[in-house]
Chains A and B, each alone.
Chain A
Amino acid sequence: MLEGKSGMDRRRFLKIGASACAIPLASGKLTASVYGSPLSSLAALAGNDRVLVVIRLDGGNDGLNMVLPLDQYANLAKARANILIPEAKALKLTTATGLHPAMPGLAKMYADGKLRVIQSVGYPNHNQSHFRSTDIWFSASDYNQVLTTGWLGRYLETIYPGYPDGYPSKDFPDPPAIQIGSALYTLLQGSSVPMGMAVASATSIYSLVPAGFDTAPATPAGHELTFIRQMFTETQKYGESIKKAIAAATNKSTLYPATGNTLSDQLKGVARLIAGGLQTKVYVVSLRGFDTHANQVLAADVTTGSHAALLTKLNDAIVAFQDDLRLLGLENRVMGMTMSEFGRRILSNASLGTDHGTSAPLLVWGAGVSGGLLGTNPVIPATVTVKDNIPMQYDYRSIYSSILKDWMGVAGADLQTVLLKDFPALPIVGSPVLPRSLAGAGAELEQNFPNPFRGATTLRYRVSSGDRVRLRVFDSHGALVRVVADGFHAPGTYARTLEAGSMSPGTYFYQLEMGGKTLQRPMEVMR
């Protein structure tokens, strides 16, 4: 069972070094805290079970009519009188900033500290082509840089090195990412293949593309087509694990709209998959129709119209999903964010619509966010021309970077690999995750996988100089539960399987001891 010495290079290890700050064990009892966090929240800090949900708002969302800069209304009224939401209708977040009246649920989440609104997110030299700007957002490139991989694809590749070869495996039985919809966005593109799979719809979530569509024609060709489609369904390599997850859970919220909200349908499926036990890290869903060049509002009542309908869907879907997560006990594991290729022009057009713009607000939501408003209202000039756009306050990659680092637990060097350069961290995540590696060398300890686990999990560690190494498991009171390894270790990478056996459900710690130093990580045994 010892020594998987290959394929481990890109796995993430916690390193023992001079500055390694381990939990001291005093007389067999675990007493102190790590990085100032209370011990009770250690399990939540492990980061291994955290999930990111990305909602793509296709077409370029009119941010100025979603997050309303109430202190700019005098000038806004001149620039977009025909579509501007009346100040009195705004759902106030602060005295100066309000939400579109279609979003009462999100306003409530804001009040509860579960919504982070980030103002004027974009990038320098914002491109106003749908396709190009989408590619930029997906790939996390500069405006003039062409990348063929997606930022989430690159992130997932740090966890699933060499994908797809060797996956699914015992340790990694589930798809790295799932996109609800017809085809995978380049957002998930890895260096060779997409790092995930598309599931056609959430209402019949097992209709995996590209298995089939309409019934095949009643011809010999149709006969073979039916056979091939059946085989496609049969051979989806993650088909079984998805089927199992769906069978294992049901939605609990009653707030999902019954019909007419495709985003809600998608998120409902996502909640079920997470609740069903998938270890999938990233889910991607989308809401279409934000390219509101015309009739984004109805002249008779500007708080209605196609944009209001979209925001209603967004609001209702997130509220229901969040309610479901809470009822399913998953609230602490899931964070969501919106993304849209650009905002829209300050100046409205004569068709009750708006043309392509640049920066726009972005929403991050979930129980784990640091709620509130980030940034200031955009300043609207007294005279707005067709050329005027909203200047960027935050580079979109700062949001990616903060979520990767603080929510997903991606450490410095990996962050560089994923985002290609450094971006300032923003206070988006409320409880930053324990860093996955520390400076220095000697030994490195990886987060166990799977985690949480039933049955068995794998503990991996690397020793860079020969020495005696002890790897032991303790319960949350610090009592020794299991000795996993104890003896001289030559330099190399080691993998040990830990059988849960009689370990009752709960939080445990595994500790690697070498040369008088220790490293440890929490793990969770599931019911």
Chain B
Amino acid sequence: MDRRTMLAKTSGSAALAGDPAFARYANAALPKRAAVTAGLEPFAGAWDKRHASHLLRRVLFGFAKADLDKALSLNSANCVDALLDVAEETLPPPVSTDAGDTGVTVGQTWTTVAYDGNFNGTRQRSLQNWWMALILGRKFSAREKLILFWHNHLATELDVVGDPKYAYMHHLLLRKNAVGNFRDLVRQITVDPAMLQYLNGDSNTNTNPNENYGRELQELFTVGKGPETAAGNYTNYTEEDVKAAARVLTGWRDVRDTPTAEFQDKKHDVKDKVFSAAYGNTVITGRAGTDAGTLELDDLIKMIFAQTETAKYFCRKLYRFFVYYAIDATVEANIIAPLADQLMKADYDIKPVLATLFKSAHFHDAANLGCQIKTPMDVVAGTLSLLEAALPDGADPIKQYTLMALMVGEASRMQLEIGNPPNVAGWSAYYQDPVFYEVWINSDTLPRRVQFTDKLASAKGYGYPTGNAITTDVLALANATSKPGTVDTLVSELAAIFYPITLTDVQIKYLKDVMLSGLPEYEWGVEWDDYVAAPADATKIKPVETRLRALFGAMMQLAEFQLC
């Protein structure tokens, strides 16, 4: 995987400006904001809809009113704890829904049958669909968002990994460690069959070392690249360290079709590996024998994770994923440094660190509300959650996967395909300075976002295949507000769920106008009461349903809806 050529295509403003999907108004420089002085001390403000929904927006893929009610029944700290309490799960594996896959019967899992390269594509899609169904399972849990965090941070691509079973095992690894230990996960990922394939660990031998993983491990997964102080010296590591790390990892390879990894000591470099001053000139003793691989890997991980920069780099990734993309000196000093300190003290368990961040005054500072742009997954899965869409369950896998495939495709066309990040650096929204989140929005993706929500709001619904459309039960959503017959209450309560920032009076009026087409507000109450009195009468249902569809469609067309 040659990441550098791929990155070259998008880095630099000149290249971006020539890109057909270039967003011309995107940041030319990082925006300046007044220093946010709120730190990691616990949030002490009122635990209201605004703050509870902020937390849910950031750690879930959308939420329904019931989730918000639940969050409000707790306090800030309890709510975070509940979201981070990810119990062990027992999941049915992905199944085949493709009669063309002759290696497995429809409805049965392909994860236990023999590898057949002819069916990689269909099985990879099955994995994506299975994953999407889990995301849309709408648990009150941060697990799924953290899995996407890890998938972005320790990226692999289905298309490159090849064997869908590898990808499945890899996914389970991320899933199991979603709120686990950063160091242990990196240790396991280093010899994970999918990663061995993806970054060429499988061809890294004593006679022919391959530096790909040794480089990305340091540059992207752990210590990160600091300023280049001299040729090949990136402050936190050097080109020599890349070579040394690669030599430490020689001899590991994946075992086809098991899918496991093994260490072949004959292919291992037995000489000592000397690291640079960045690592305090650490020497990892060269070893021979069958346990040499494990022992040297442990040493390597220990060395890398002893670096404060590893903890800081990781905390910056968390910050950009969950809070905001611009990290100024105040954030660096008041948030990143103390979080990194906590992470190291916790021996790289991330749960206490996430808890500190999500419970903090800083996370809830007004400046951090609504400052993210929804990822395509927030748009697709998030909107389905928000609209409480009735989705098919696993009882009919063909039906379920057919829909999930459409959802994977929607997000994919909006430029986020689960399982296939653009390269090992993950999605550029989390590193492309200075545009960051703004890369999600361009002249192609923005209309797609609106078309998607327009379909969900329409009477016809989102057609998957015809006759099985997802239609939004707008009457039920309206009914869940405290006074559905009162326009002001209806619109303002929905707005509190739909948007992370408060709408202005002009916008509220706009939404009311859309809904009422200029009629006086009391008419809505009259019509709503007529419907309530005759809830089965189509001529009473339709007038209110039509107005509500117009309202929901317009609400999701507002630019504010794209904020997270």
The CA-CA distance from A185 to B543 in the complex, in Å, is 13
For B551, the closest partner residue in chain A by CB is: A183
For B24, the closest partner residue in chain A by CB is: A234
For B547, the closest partner residue in chain A by CB is: A131
B8-50: CB near A (< 8 Å → 1, else 0) gives: 0000000000000001111100010100000000000000000
Query: In the complex, are the beta carbons of A221 and B438 less than 8 A apart?
Result: no
- Residues of A contacting B: mostly: loop
Query: In the complex, are the beta carbons of A132 and B438 less than 8 A apart?
Result: no
Query: In the complex, are the beta carbons of A289 and B518 less than 8 A apart?
Result: yes
Inside 8 A of A192's CB, which chain B residues have their CB?
458, 460
For A133, the closest partner residue in chain B by CB is: B543
Query: In the complex, are the beta carbons of B454 and A193 less than 8 A apart?
Result: yes
Query: In the complex, are the beta carbons of A221 and B506 less than 8 A apart?
Result: no
The CA-CA distance from A223 to B33 in the complex, in Å, is 10
A120-149: CB near B (< 8 Å → 1, else 0) gives: 000000010111101100000001101010
Contact status of A229 and B519, CB under 8 A, knowing A131-B546, A183-B554 = no
Contact status of A210 and B554, CB under 8 A, knowing A185-B517, A221-B369, A225-B563 = yes
The CA-CA distance from A326 to B540 in the complex, in Å, is 45
Inside 8 A of B441's CB, which chain A residues have their CB?
227-228, 231
Query: In the complex, are the beta carbons of A234 and B563 less than 8 A apart?
Result: no
Interface residues of A in 211-254 (CB under 8 A from B): 211-214, 217, 219-232, 234-235, 237
Inside 8 A of A130's CB, which chain B residues have their CB?
519, 523, 527, 543
Number of A residues, CB within 8 Å of B: 48
Provide a sorted-by-A list of 15 A–B residue pairs whose CB atoms are within 8 angstroms.
A129-B526, A129-B543, A131-B523, A132-B543, A182-B510, A214-B506, A219-B367, A219-B371, A220-B33, A220-B368, A221-B369, A221-B563, A224-B373, A228-B446, A232-B559
The CA-CA distance from A53 to B357 in the complex, in Å, is 57
The CA-CA distance from A213 to B506 in the complex, in Å, is 7
Inside 8 A of B504's CB, which chain A residues have their CB?
213-214
For B538, the closest partner residue in chain A by CB is: A146
Query: In the complex, are the beta carbons of B559 and A210 less than 8 A apart?
Result: yes
The CA-CA distance from A234 to B23 in the complex, in Å, is 9
| Distance in Å: Cβ of A79 to nearest Cβ of chain B | 24
| Distance in Å: Cβ of B522 to nearest Cβ of chain A | 10
Q: Does B339 contact A (CB under 8 A)?
A: no
Inside 8 A of A135's CB, which chain B residues have their CB?
542-543, 546
Inside 8 A of A129's CB, which chain B residues have their CB?
526-527, 530, 543
Query: In the complex, are the beta carbons of A230 and B25 less than 8 A apart?
Result: yes
Query: In the complex, are the beta carbons of B25 and A227 less than 8 A apart?
Result: yes
The CA-CA distance from A454 to B284 in the complex, in Å, is 78
Query: In the complex, are the beta carbons of B542 and A211 less than 8 A apart?
Result: no
Q: Does B560 contact A (CB under 8 A)?
A: yes
The CA-CA distance from A291 to B521 in the complex, in Å, is 11
Query: In the complex, are the beta carbons of B539 and A132 less than 8 A apart?
Result: yes
Interface contacts beyond A148-B459, A182-B510: sample of 12 additional A-B pairs, CB < 8 Å, sorted by A:
A129-B530, A131-B547, A134-B517, A182-B513, A193-B454, A210-B558, A210-B559, A220-B33, A220-B326, A220-B368, A225-B559, A232-B446
Q: Does A279 contact B (CB under 8 A)?
A: no
Contact status of A224 and B438, CB under 8 A, knowing A131-B523, A231-B446, A291-B519 = yes
The CA-CA distance from A230 to B441 in the complex, in Å, is 11
Query: In the complex, are the beta carbons of A183 and B368 less than 8 A apart?
Result: no
Inside 8 A of A143's CB, which chain B residues have their CB?
539
Query: In the complex, are the beta carbons of A146 and B539 less than 8 A apart?
Result: yes
Q: Does B97 contact A (CB under 8 A)?
A: no
B117-154: CB near A (< 8 Å → 1, else 0) gives: 00000000000000000000000000000000000000
For A223, the closest partner residue in chain B by CB is: B31
Inside 8 A of A224's CB, which chain B residues have their CB?
370-373, 437-438, 562-563
Q: Does A371 contact B (CB under 8 A)?
A: no
| Distance in Å: Cβ of B531 to nearest Cβ of chain A | 10
Most chain-B CB neighbours within 10 Å: which of A135, A146, A183?
A183
Q: Does A59 contact B (CB under 8 A)?
A: yes
Q: Does B479 contact A (CB under 8 A)?
A: no
Interface residues of B in 457-514 (CB under 8 A from A): 458-460, 500-501, 504, 506-507, 510, 513-514
Q: Does B520 contact A (CB under 8 A)?
A: yes
Most chain-B CB neighbours within 10 Å: which of A132, A210, A225, A291?
A210
| Distance in Å: Cβ of B29 to nearest Cβ of chain A | 12
| Distance in Å: Cβ of A226 to nearest Cβ of chain B | 8
Query: In the complex, are the beta carbons of B510 and A231 less than 8 A apart?
Result: no
Q: Does A520 contact B (CB under 8 A)?
A: no
Q: Does A108 contact B (CB under 8 A)?
A: no
| Distance in Å: Cβ of B211 to nearest Cβ of chain A | 38
Query: In the complex, are the beta carbons of B371 and A212 less than 8 A apart?
Result: no
Inside 8 A of B546's CB, which chain A residues have their CB?
131, 135, 186
Q: Does B550 contact A (CB under 8 A)?
A: yes
Q: Does A89 contact B (CB under 8 A)?
A: no
For A217, the closest partner residue in chain B by CB is: B501
Chain B interface (Cβ < 8 Å from any Cβ of A): 23-27, 31, 33, 324, 326, 366-373, 437-438, 441-443, 446-447, 454, 458-460, 500-501, 504, 506-507, 510, 513-514, 517-520, 523, 526-527, 530, 538-540, 542-544, 546-547, 550, 554, 557-560, 562-563
The CA-CA distance from A144 to B547 in the complex, in Å, is 18
Q: Which 5 A-B pairs have the closest CB atoms?
A: A131-B543, A221-B370, A220-B371, A288-B518, A183-B514
Inside 8 A of A127's CB, which chain B residues have their CB?
539
Inside 8 A of A223's CB, which chain B residues have their CB?
31, 33, 371
| Distance in Å: Cβ of A209 to nearest Cβ of chain B | 8
Q: Does A447 contact B (CB under 8 A)?
A: no
Q: Does A513 contact B (CB under 8 A)?
A: no
The CA-CA distance from A9 to B203 in the complex, in Å, is 58
| Contact among A131, A217, A232 for B527, CB-based, below 8 A | A131
Inside 8 A of B31's CB, which chain A residues have their CB?
220, 223
Inside 8 A of B542's CB, which chain A residues have their CB?
132, 135, 146
Most chain-B CB neighbours within 10 Å: which of A182, A186, A227, A229?
A227
Inside 8 A of B554's CB, which chain A residues have their CB?
182-183, 210
Inside 8 A of A210's CB, which chain B residues have their CB?
554, 557-559
| Distance in Å: Cβ of A285 to nearest Cβ of chain B | 12
Contact status of A291 and B520, CB under 8 A, knowing A221-B501, A224-B438 = yes
Inside 8 A of A229's CB, which chain B residues have their CB?
559
Contact status of A144 and B523, CB under 8 A, knowing A129-B530, A183-B514, A210-B558 = no
The CA-CA distance from A280 to B370 in the complex, in Å, is 39
Query: In the complex, are the beta carbons of B544 and A131 less than 8 A apart?
Result: yes
A186-205: CB near B (< 8 Å → 1, else 0) gives: 10000111000000000000
The CA-CA distance from A219 to B446 in the complex, in Å, is 22
| Contact among B368, B459, B510, B519 for A213, CB-based, below 8 A | B510
Query: In the complex, are the beta carbons of B373 and A228 less than 8 A apart?
Result: yes
Contact status of A237 and B368, CB under 8 A, knowing A131-B523, A213-B506, A214-B507 = no
Inside 8 A of A144's CB, which chain B residues have their CB?
539
Query: In the complex, are the beta carbons of A225 and B501 less than 8 A apart?
Result: yes
The CA-CA distance from A47 to B373 in the complex, in Å, is 47
The CA-CA distance from A150 to B439 in the complex, in Å, is 37
For A228, the closest partner residue in chain B by CB is: B559
Query: In the complex, are the beta carbons of B25 and A231 less than 8 A apart?
Result: yes
Query: In the complex, are the beta carbons of B559 and A212 less than 8 A apart?
Result: yes
Inside 8 A of B517's CB, which chain A residues have their CB?
58, 134, 183, 185, 286
For B526, the closest partner residue in chain A by CB is: A129
The CA-CA distance from A148 to B546 in the complex, in Å, is 8
The CA-CA distance from A228 to B501 in the complex, in Å, is 14
Inside 8 A of B23's CB, which chain A residues have their CB?
227, 231
The CA-CA distance from A212 to B557 in the complex, in Å, is 11
Query: In the complex, are the beta carbons of B543 and A234 less than 8 A apart?
Result: no
Contact status of A227 and B26, CB under 8 A, knowing A131-B543, A183-B513, A288-B518 = yes
Query: In the complex, are the beta carbons of A221 and B459 less than 8 A apart?
Result: no
| Distance in Å: Cβ of A162 to nearest Cβ of chain B | 15
A165-198: CB near B (< 8 Å → 1, else 0) gives: 0000000000000000011011000011100000
Most chain-A CB neighbours within 10 Å: which of B372, B446, B543?
B543
